[in-house]
């Protein structure tokens, strides 16, 4: 029988498991307490000031029910703010705070270090290849998850 550990689905789970562990370790070493998910959300808020939650979720492929809790924690840590939108009373506009900006700036080396560690078993070319193939497989499967990546709409 084929080894279950060799199936693409299992490799996907393992790779993600290691990626999260490495990220958290590097970030903690740098003296911060931020998850990969929180980091991506914060960086995307900074790059798109005033965006609403659904747009944010689409830009980083999070489920809209997940993003609520993530933003809750960013707000609670004082890194982001959630305001009512003036144009659409259903929507909340998101902004990064000065503290959030400071954190992003200081945390960047740790985040980049994590990415290097994640690929440390591969040569530079192999790392490039892996990322290219992952991007291609992901693009083909984008709409298969409930939270697909959405190019900036609007």
Partner DNA sequence: TACTGATAGTCAGCATACTGAGCAATATCA
Partner DNA sequence: TGATATTGCTCAGTATGCTGACTATCAGTA
From the list DNA, a second copy, none, partner contacted by residue 35 (C-beta under 5 to 8 A by kind): DNA
| 3-state secondary structure labels for all residues of 79-116 | CEEEEECCCCCCCEEEEECHHHHHHHHHHHHHHHHHHH
* Nearest Cα to Cα of residue 73 among 43, 35, 46, 44: 35
Of the candidate residues 22, 27, 59, 71, the single one contacting DNA (CB under 7 A): 71
* Binding to a second copy in span 12-31, by CB under 8 A: 12-23, 25
* Residue 54 C-beta: closest distance to a second copy, Å: 17
- Does 38 help bind DNA (rule: CB under 7 A)? yes
* Residue 119 C-beta: closest distance to a second copy, Å: 6
Q: Give the sign of the dihedral formed by CA 48, CA 52, CA 55, CA 59.
A: positive
* Residue 91 C-beta: closest distance to a second copy, Å: 23
Which residues, in sequence order, are CB contacts of 54 under 8 Å at separation 6+?
64, 91
Q: Please work out, in degrees rounded to the nearest 5, the angle formed at the alpha carbon of residue 53 by the alpha carbons of 30 and 59.
A: 70
* Residue 116 C-beta: closest distance to a second copy, Å: 9
Applying CB under 7 A, the span of 32-40, 97-105, 119-127, 132-140 interacting with DNA comes to 32-40
Q: What is the DSSP letter of 134?
A: H
From the list DNA, a second copy, none, partner contacted by residue 152 (C-beta under 5 to 8 A by kind): none
Burial (CB < 10 A; 0-12, 13-18, 19+), residue 151, is exposed
* Residue 71 C-beta: closest distance to a second copy, Å: 16
Residues forming contacts to DNA in the complex (CB under 7 A) are: 13, 17, 20-21, 35, 37-38, 52-55, 62-66, 68-71, 73, 82, 85, 88-92, 145-147
């Amino acid at each position: 029988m084929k080894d279950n550990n060799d199936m693409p689905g299992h490799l996907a789970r393992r790779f993600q498991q290691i990626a999260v562990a490495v990220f958290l370790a590097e970030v903690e070493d740098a003296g911060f307490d931020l998850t990969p998910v929180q980091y991506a959300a914060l960086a995307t808020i900074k790059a798109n000031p005033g965006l609403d939650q659904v747009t944010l979720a689409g830009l980083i492929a999070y489920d809209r029910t997940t993003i609520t809790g993530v933003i809750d924690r960013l707000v609670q840590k004082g890194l982001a703010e959630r305001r009512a939108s003036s144009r659409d009373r259903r929507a909340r506009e998101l902004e990064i705070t000065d503290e959030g900006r400071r954190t992003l700036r200081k945390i960047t080396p740790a985040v980049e270090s994590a990415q290097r560690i994640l690929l440390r078993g591969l040569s530079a070319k192999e790392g490039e290849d892996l990322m290219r193939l992952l991007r291609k497989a992901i693009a083909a499967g984008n709409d298969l998850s409930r939270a697909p990546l959405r190019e900036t709409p609007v």
